[in-house]
Chain A
Amino acid sequence: MIPILILGWLSVRLEQNQQQLIQHQFQALVEVKLKSVDGLFQGHFQRLEAVLKSEASELKQNASSQALRELSKSSPYIEQVFILDPTRKPIYPTPTNATAQEIQFLQQTKTLLETPSLFTHSQESNTTIQKANGPAQLVAQAPYSAQLKSVPQTQRLTRSTEKSINAETEIAPLISRRSQATSSIAADSPIASSNINDTQVEQVEPTDSGWIAWYNNTQLQHIYWQTTADNRVMGFAISRARLLSDLINLLPDQSEITAEHPLNNSIITLKNSRGEVSYEWGNAKESSDHLTPIKTLNLSHPLGSWRLEYTTTSLNKPQQNWLEKLLIIVITLSALSVLGWLVYREQTRESRLALQRVNFVNQVSHELKTPLTNVRMYTEMLENQLDDEQVKQKRYLNIINNESKRLTRLIDNVLSFSKLERDSLDLNLQMGTVQECINNTLEAFAPAFAQRGLDPKLTSHCDTNVLLDPHCTEQILNNLFSNAEKYAADSGVLQIECWQEGDYSFIRIHDNGPGIDEYSSRSIFEQFYRASNKLTDGISGTGIGLSIARELARKHGGDLILESTTQGASFLLSLYTPVSLSHSPAKGSL
């Protein structure tokens, strides 16, 4: 479980890191995208400038008020034309002889037209900025009038040219629309199209020009101005509605944003100086006003107070990625757990099978116990009734009796095992000697030992009366002897030593058989473990004997260990056998 948790944590960390990285890259990508839109707009202003320049150059010679009026009537981009004389006094339109629209224009731009410094751009950019900033602050104080920003034009132009080149490579789907817009503007004046790439050439002209962005009723308006050779200023007030319409036409519509579009699940909104949405596009289902933008870009001059906002429904924009990653994690986890389960199952299969076997035997044993008791009882009764001369019958009955006892021992073993498993085995302590238990057991095993060529030799120093559970002790010994009988056949002397130290009794059983190799010795006490080698093959056994013996010994306050010897196997059994009841601690702890 812990490795899986660690693995999970690690993957979450990895995912987080990756997401941060993606978000970073994403932010950068979004910025590039928004900047490219800004570039598109700059491109539009350049084209507009080219159109206006050509209009201006056509007008220069015969700038009659009739022709000027004609121009503002025929050009879809221009709302009003104005001319300032070399002393920067308005000479067209003048309040006398003006149309209603012209009079309105003069009222709106009164402060603007009375600020001659707005219409100069000296070649030193520093002074220009200062000059331009002065009046900007001045007019900004007056409500509904102009706030002005000026950037040295040469500098701005070169920058925006770069941008529009970038934009062309970055926004592939926009190009078709864009070139359309170019041609539509170019259609109005054939000179313009050839001029677009020649802005640098036009720059060489001694005339000065620039954009003024000003506010009328908090709405951004634009004026393009340029000085003529005779130092007059020719200005064009741009139709605000038309400018916005043209900018919108540079931006994609919904049919151009398909599911594969990089603008997945997001919206870009163009907001004007009042913060109102002028246009939005994108394929997110939600409306942009429910979401906070993750990226905002203020547009460059002359759209200074406008901004683009990028909004998206989910930060890790491609949603499939999440699913994919989740799926991978789930698959890995489930594969791991299946693998673990398989390994675990393989490991426990054997013991589970044995357990099942024991459970079965346990139940069967219970059933066997009653008839076996009867068999033994009647055998003994029959034995007692026999005469002394019926030796043959007596021998047969003796064998029956012994085998019945052996069977009883086996059954007891199985029952003890399941009792130990359930932890419901209670000791039945009574006074007795350890020697007696040994003798009883040896007696029972005598025929078997004789048959298997084993010669038990008991050296006993434990004939003191102590408190013990004889049945339990005998059962331990049964198991040990039964092992010796099974695995150390024909090995001659079976040494049995017995002594007592304080409250403990010790019994050592040492055979001269093949012994137990080091590897197996580690696990012989485990349940259902049977040392597998030539020796054990062909010998039946349940594999629970030693495990039960040790459990019983521990229950009896002692232990059963395998001693290392040079030859054969030597088991040392210790038992807690207090001399009297007063010495014995609480019964439960035994």
Chain B
Amino acid sequence: MNRYRLTNIKHLLLALCFSATLAPLTQAKQIDLQVNLATPVMEAERTHNAFIKISLEAFKQDQPQKRIPANIAIVLDKSGSMQGDKLYHAKKAAIMAINRLSPNDIVSVVSYDSRVNVVVPATKASDTELIAHSIQQINASGNTALFAGVSKGSQELRKFLDMNKVNRVILLSDGLANVGPSTPNELGKLGLSLAKEGISVTTIGLGLGYNEDLMTQLAGFSDGNHAFVEKAEDLAKVFQYEFGDVLSVVAQSVEIRIKCKNGVRPLRVLGREADISGNMVSTRMNQLYSEQEKFIILEVEVPAQEDRSNLELVDVDIRYNDLFNQRNEQLSSNVVAQFSRSQEQIDEAVDTETYEAAAEQVANEFNREAVEKRDQGDIQGAQSILQKSADYLDNLGQALASPKLIEQKEEALKDADELDDEQEWSKKRKELKERQFKRSKQQSY
């Protein structure tokens, strides 16, 4: 523990020195970059698998009244299945959310069934009454041209596309896409392409009829949020959360580049999509929200080292677009591991918080695998994976004395228990997918 603090202080000193030389620039930095090892001290003369947590957190805004203008396209499913209560609540939720916007924000509304209708073309959110009136005119009928709906929604965003705005498509759907591309892969590809332009897609699945894989892929690749809303009455709440998120974005286009050094080999990135090529790992986040921590967990293989030696494991390099100051910023950091023969020293140095976060992601991966197994019809296989996950969480929870992990263990056991309920599976799967998504992306709601 002491050691850990010491390294931390070292970093802080380093950062201070750095900031002293570049004072005018660093003053305005909005983002705090932390690179931590779950096990800062490792056993010598042995190879290890180690978890590195790279976390980014935006500081609280000094001027709370000031915020980044938003450019939002609400894409509403108005297929036949939305008829009645669902569409009523969806319209209400959308109107309520739009009322939160200020005249500087841009909003557009697209509805789709078999065909697509641009209900409100991209416009300033000043005449909210007119917008609300247009939304009220939407009637449900027809099929689900989800792909085209998202396409037209993003096209509306492009009219005012600005890297200094928060560009977001909010998609609400209750059904399977059945006109146009309909596979999770295709929608994921679209999401990926939109992300490159700085557009995120938040997907809200309503009821039990939608394709959660498609919705999570679309949101995942474009780094938006995802929510499963079982009852239409809860839509208003989710829209409020979502708009809260959108209105608190402080940085965008976050590029994360990790270089593994000294023979350290990257194994996998937990939770997020990342490119691993040789010793280089790169990934991106579309945005960072105020006072929200986002992180990635990188698992690396560390070669055996001598006792009492130090090894620099990775260099982390972050680039992002600071929306408040409207300029590109850069941050970098590294992490050093120590090696020792003393088990006591090793145990003492463990960074509980980082380890917890890593374990959570590992369990999340187990959960993913379990759902995959369950999809193949292998309920027992899925249950045994979850059991493995629970054992892992239990061991670690005991060792770290972490109530959080013990709680997650209980959750895994409960999941395993509920896997074979055929009738509830559709709902359970949506819940699991949503939870996995939220864990891996550290979604705020």
Is there an interface contact between B148 and A279, defined as CB atoms closer than 8 Å? Answer: yes
**Within the complex, what minimum Cβ distance (angstroms) separates B421 from chain A?**
34
Chain B residues closer than 8 Å to A439, beta-carbon distance: none
Known: A76-B196, A98-B277, A277-B179. A240 touches B189 (CB 8 A): yes
Chain B residues closer than 8 Å to A184, beta-carbon distance: 158, 161
Is there an interface contact between B115 and A254, defined as CB atoms closer than 8 Å? Answer: yes
- B114 on interface, CB distance cutoff 8 Å: yes
User: Roughly how many angstroms separate A73 CA and B121 CA in the complex, as a whole number?
Assistant: 30
Is there an interface contact between A280 and B179, defined as CB atoms closer than 8 Å? Answer: yes
- B117 on interface, CB distance cutoff 8 Å: yes
Is there an interface contact between B161 and A248, defined as CB atoms closer than 8 Å? Answer: no
Contact with A along B139-153 (1 / 0, CB 8 A): 000110101101110
Chain A residues closer than 8 Å to B83, beta-carbon distance: none
- A47 on interface, CB distance cutoff 8 Å: no
B284 (CB) vs chain A CBs: closest residue? A73
Contact with B along A231-252 (1 / 0, CB 8 A): 0000000011110111011000
Known: A97-B277, A241-B187, A245-B147. A281 touches B115 (CB 8 A): yes
B188 (CB) vs chain A CBs: closest residue? A241
Is there an interface contact between B186 and A75, defined as CB atoms closer than 8 Å? Answer: no
Contact with A along B179-192 (1 / 0, CB 8 A): 11100001101101
- For the complex of A and B, the 8 pairs showing the least CB-CB separation, nearest first, are A254-B117, A241-B189, A242-B193, A241-B190, A245-B151, A76-B196, A249-B155, A99-B275
Contact with B along A247-281 (1 / 0, CB 8 A): 01100011110000000000000000000111111
Chain B residues closer than 8 Å to A276, beta-carbon distance: 180
**Within the complex, what minimum Cβ distance (angstroms) separates A187 from chain B?**
7
User: Roughly how many angstroms separate A511 CA and B179 CA in the complex, as a whole number?
Assistant: 102
Known: A241-B186, A280-B115. A101 touches B275 (CB 8 A): yes
User: Roughly how many angstroms separate A79 CA and B159 CA in the complex, as a whole number?
Assistant: 24
- Most chain A Cβ neighbours within 10 Å, of B115, B118, B186: B115
Give B residues with C-beta under 8 Å from A: 110, 114-119, 121, 142-143, 145, 147-148, 150-152, 154-155, 158-159, 161, 179-181, 186-187, 189-190, 192-194, 196-197, 275-278, 282, 284
Contact with B along A59-79 (1 / 0, CB 8 A): 000000000010001111101
User: Roughly how many angstroms separate A177 CA and B148 CA in the complex, as a whole number?
Assistant: 15
**Within the complex, what minimum Cβ distance (angstroms) separates B79 from chain A?**
12
Is there an interface contact between B119 and A239, defined as CB atoms closer than 8 Å? Answer: no
**Contact among B143, B181, B196, B276 for A99, CB-based, below 8 A:** B276
User: Roughly how many angstroms separate A17 CA and B151 CA in the complex, as a whole number?
Assistant: 44
Is there an interface contact between A77 and B116, defined as CB atoms closer than 8 Å? Answer: no
User: Roughly how many angstroms separate A553 CA and B190 CA in the complex, as a whole number?
Assistant: 105
- A1 on interface, CB distance cutoff 8 Å: no
- A451 on interface, CB distance cutoff 8 Å: no
Chain A residues closer than 8 Å to B142, beta-carbon distance: 287
User: Roughly how many angstroms separate A100 CA and B150 CA in the complex, as a whole number?
Assistant: 27
- A180 on interface, CB distance cutoff 8 Å: yes
- A470 on interface, CB distance cutoff 8 Å: no
Is there an interface contact between A248 and B151, defined as CB atoms closer than 8 Å? Answer: yes
- A282 on interface, CB distance cutoff 8 Å: yes
User: Roughly how many angstroms separate A244 CA and B275 CA in the complex, as a whole number?
Assistant: 25
Residue pairs across A and B with Cβ atoms less than 8 A apart, 26 shown, are A73-B275, A74-B196, A76-B193, A76-B196, A99-B275, A100-B275, A100-B276, A102-B277, A177-B155, A180-B155, A239-B192, A240-B189, A241-B147, A244-B181, A245-B147, A245-B190, A248-B148, A248-B151, A249-B152, A253-B116, A254-B116, A254-B117, A279-B179, A279-B180, A280-B179, A287-B142
Known: A248-B152, A277-B179, A277-B180. A239 touches B193 (CB 8 A): yes
**Within the complex, what minimum Cβ distance (angstroms) separates B229 from chain A?**
26
A277 (CB) vs chain B CBs: closest residue? B179
- Most chain B Cβ neighbours within 10 Å, of A75, A101, A177, A249: A249
User: Roughly how many angstroms separate A499 CA and B315 CA in the complex, as a whole number?
Assistant: 150
**Within the complex, what minimum Cβ distance (angstroms) separates A44 from chain B?**
13
Chain A residues closer than 8 Å to B154, beta-carbon distance: 245
Chain A residues closer than 8 Å to B114, beta-carbon distance: 280, 287-288
User: Roughly how many angstroms separate A187 CA and B115 CA in the complex, as a whole number?
Assistant: 28
User: Roughly how many angstroms separate A282 CA and B161 CA in the complex, as a whole number?
Assistant: 28
B192 (CB) vs chain A CBs: closest residue? A239
Chain A residues 264 to 312 lying within 8 A of chain B, measured CB to CB, are 276-282, 287-288
B182 (CB) vs chain A CBs: closest residue? A276
- Most chain B Cβ neighbours within 10 Å, of A77, A97, A256, A279: A279
Is there an interface contact between A77 and B275, defined as CB atoms closer than 8 Å? Answer: no
User: Roughly how many angstroms separate A100 CA and B278 CA in the complex, as a whole number?
Assistant: 11
Chain A residues closer than 8 Å to B186, beta-carbon distance: 240-241
User: Roughly how many angstroms separate A74 CA and B196 CA in the complex, as a whole number?
Assistant: 6
**Within the complex, what minimum Cβ distance (angstroms) separates B155 from chain A?**
4
Chain B residues closer than 8 Å to A288, beta-carbon distance: 114
**Within the complex, what minimum Cβ distance (angstroms) separates B157 from chain A?**
10
**Within the complex, what minimum Cβ distance (angstroms) separates A265 from chain B?**
14
**Within the complex, what minimum Cβ distance (angstroms) separates B145 from chain A?**
7
B155 (CB) vs chain A CBs: closest residue? A249
User: Roughly how many angstroms separate A69 CA and B281 CA in the complex, as a whole number?
Assistant: 12
B187 (CB) vs chain A CBs: closest residue? A241
A248 (CB) vs chain B CBs: closest residue? B151
**Within the complex, what minimum Cβ distance (angstroms) separates B203 from chain A?**
15
**Contact among A75, A100, A240, A246 for B196, CB-based, below 8 A:** A75
Known: A180-B155, A239-B193, A253-B152. A282 touches B115 (CB 8 A): yes
Known: A180-B158, A287-B114. A242 touches B143 (CB 8 A): no
B274 (CB) vs chain A CBs: closest residue? A99
**Contact among A73, A79, A99, A253 for B118, CB-based, below 8 A:** A253
Chain B residues closer than 8 Å to A253, beta-carbon distance: 110, 115-118, 152
**Within the complex, what minimum Cβ distance (angstroms) separates B180 from chain A?**
5
- Most chain B Cβ neighbours within 10 Å, of A99, A181, A187: A99
**Contact among B121, B155, B180, B197 for A278, CB-based, below 8 A:** B180
User: Roughly how many angstroms separate A241 CA and B197 CA in the complex, as a whole number?
Assistant: 14
Is there an interface contact between B117 and A255, defined as CB atoms closer than 8 Å? Answer: yes
Chain A residues closer than 8 Å to B152, beta-carbon distance: 248-249, 253
User: Roughly how many angstroms separate A240 CA and B278 CA in the complex, as a whole number?
Assistant: 28
Chain A residues closer than 8 Å to B155, beta-carbon distance: 177, 180-181, 249
Chain A residues closer than 8 Å to B148, beta-carbon distance: 248, 278-279
Is there an interface contact between A73 and B196, defined as CB atoms closer than 8 Å? Answer: yes
Chain A residues 73 to 111 lying within 8 A of chain B, measured CB to CB, are 73-77, 79, 97-102
Known: A184-B161, A240-B189, A282-B115. A69 touches B181 (CB 8 A): no
Contact with B along A427-460 (1 / 0, CB 8 A): 0000000000000000000000000000000000
User: Roughly how many angstroms separate A287 CA and B141 CA in the complex, as a whole number?
Assistant: 11
**Within the complex, what minimum Cβ distance (angstroms) separates A509 from chain B?**
92
Q: A253-B118, A255-B118, A287-B143 are in contact. List 17 more A-B contacts (CB 8 A).
A: A69-B275, A73-B196, A73-B284, A98-B277, A99-B277, A100-B276, A101-B275, A239-B192, A239-B193, A241-B193, A244-B181, A248-B180, A253-B110, A253-B115, A254-B116, A254-B118, A287-B142
Chain B residues closer than 8 Å to A279, beta-carbon distance: 116, 145, 148, 179-180
Known: A76-B194, A242-B189, A248-B148. A97 touches B179 (CB 8 A): no
Chain A residues closer than 8 Å to B116, beta-carbon distance: 248, 253-254, 279, 281
B120 (CB) vs chain A CBs: closest residue? A255
**Within the complex, what minimum Cβ distance (angstroms) separates A186 from chain B?**
12
Chain B residues closer than 8 Å to A254, beta-carbon distance: 115-118
User: Roughly how many angstroms separate A278 CA and B152 CA in the complex, as a whole number?
Assistant: 13
B197 (CB) vs chain A CBs: closest residue? A76
User: Roughly how many angstroms separate A276 CA and B145 CA in the complex, as a whole number?
Assistant: 12
User: Roughly how many angstroms separate A241 CA and B146 CA in the complex, as a whole number?
Assistant: 13
User: Roughly how many angstroms separate A215 CA and B58 CA in the complex, as a whole number?
Assistant: 45
Is there an interface contact between B192 and A97, defined as CB atoms closer than 8 Å? Answer: no
**Within the complex, what minimum Cβ distance (angstroms) separates A448 from chain B?**
95
User: Roughly how many angstroms separate A62 CA and B431 CA in the complex, as a whole number?
Assistant: 48
A183 (CB) vs chain B CBs: closest residue? B158
**Within the complex, what minimum Cβ distance (angstroms) separates A410 from chain B?**
85
**Within the complex, what minimum Cβ distance (angstroms) separates B113 from chain A?**
9
Contact with B along A159-184 (1 / 0, CB 8 A): 00000000000000000010011001
